[in-house]
Structure formats: C-alpha cells, structure tokens
A and B are shown apart, each in its own frame.
Chain A
Amino acid sequence: QVQLKESGPGLVQPSQTLSLTCTVSGLSLTSNSVSWIRQPPGKGLEWMGVIWSNGGTDYNSAIKSRLSISRDTSKSQVFLKMNSLQTEDTAMYFCARKRVTTEGILDYFDYWGQGVMVTVSS
C-alpha cells in the first residue's frame, strides 16, 4: 500500500536551515508528484511546493526564495530544505502525493504522511 513518512529534526534554531525527508513506498517518484504542505499550530494549511514526476519543481511564491525541493528516486525519497527559519515557520510539515490528471481537471492530495512537527526556537 501507499505510504509517505516524514522525518527530520523537531527543533531548529532561528536563522538556521530546515532539512526534511519524505520517504515514499508503494509509489514511484518517476510517475508521481509529491508536495510539501505545512500547518502552524491551530491554523490552516499552506501549500509550499511540489516536485513533479519529471523532476521539475514549483514553489509558493511567498517562500520561494528560501525553499528547495529535491528527490532521490533510487531511494524513493523527497527532500525539503528551507533556510533562514523564523519562529513563524513553526509548524507541522506534511508531504503528500499530488495527483494531477493530464488535462488538469482532477488535482488533489490523496496520500499524506503523518507529518513531522518542527519548532523554531533558540
């Protein structure tokens, strides 16, 4: 069955860089796209970016200058790196499969990891 699992440090100091890994099973990254989505405590969801099945990436313009998403298809892993972290980056970080049909009519997140909580604090 399809599983996604996030991993990474629970605590990051302000101004430092966050590195997270999403390990995927049951899906091939060369035919599936994976997004990162975050949720500050008690708040809503923010789409951060996507790595497409062809390896291309797109980012939310609000954080584009700080964010990088990459992958290792041989290990079925997707990576998130975000620099210059601030306290407002404290959030649960999820990776999710982004299913998009060719014509773009259907586009949704149908498989999610359980999330990893990241706290930005000194």
Chain B
Amino acid sequence: DIQMTQSPSLLSASVGDRVTLSCKASQNIYKYLNWYQQKLGEAPKLLIYYTNSLQTGIPSRFSGSGSGTDYTLTISSLQPEDVATYFCQQYNSWPDTFGAGTKLELK
C-alpha cells in the first residue's frame, strides 16, 4: 500500500496567516490526490480533488498543488472556522490510503 505522510502533525497559526500543510507519498501518485477537512465531531469534507481542483462551495482561500510524491494544501489567510484536522488521500494505487492528518489550531 502507498504510505501517505503528513507534516506537521500539529500546526499553530494566527488568523490571517498563510498556512501550508504538506503531504508526501511513498511513491509517485501522479497528482491523484485529494484533501479533506474534518472538524471536531464531524464527518470529513472534501476540499480539493485531483491535487488542485476546488470542490464546489469551498472558499477560494484554499488551494492545492504538487506533483510526483510531494503535495501541499495552502490556506491563503487563515480564518477561525478553518480550525480542523486536514487529511490527504491518494487514489493512484489500490487501496485508497489517507495520511494521518495535520491538526490546525489557532495560536
């Protein structure tokens, strides 16, 4: 199975900060990567699909990039409602696998 490693595991940032979350795959996943946001006690929500496509209804401050094994989720200006855990997921190889998540908190 492809291993997905997210860093950092915990990130503290201030409102208005530009925030970058990292996801690294154990092998080339050819941009077949999605990002999800999970708020406490809720189901995950799809944010970004196929590396950089914004899901309908998601604010434009969220963006994704990357290629090969290295991928990034960026929040251009952190808002209080962005406090959550963020997961990456690859679908290049069976089975789909998720990273362990980055927990984003306010400083």
Contact = CB atoms under 8 A, between A and B. Distances in A.
Interface of A: 43-47, 58, 60-61, 94, 96, 105-110, 112-115
Contact of B46 (A44, A58, A108): A108
Contacts of A94: 43-44
Nearest to A64: B95
Given A44-B99, A113-B43, A107 B87 contact: no
A45 B98 contact: yes
Contact of A108 (B49, B95, B99, B101): B49
Given A105-B50, A106-B49, A106-B50, A47 B42 contact: no
A44 B101 contact: yes
B63 interface: no
Contacts of B53: 106
Contacts of B98: 44-47
Contacts of B101: 44
A39 B99 CA distance: 12
Contacts of A112: 43-45
A43 B103 CA distance: 11
Contacts of A107: 32, 34, 91, 96
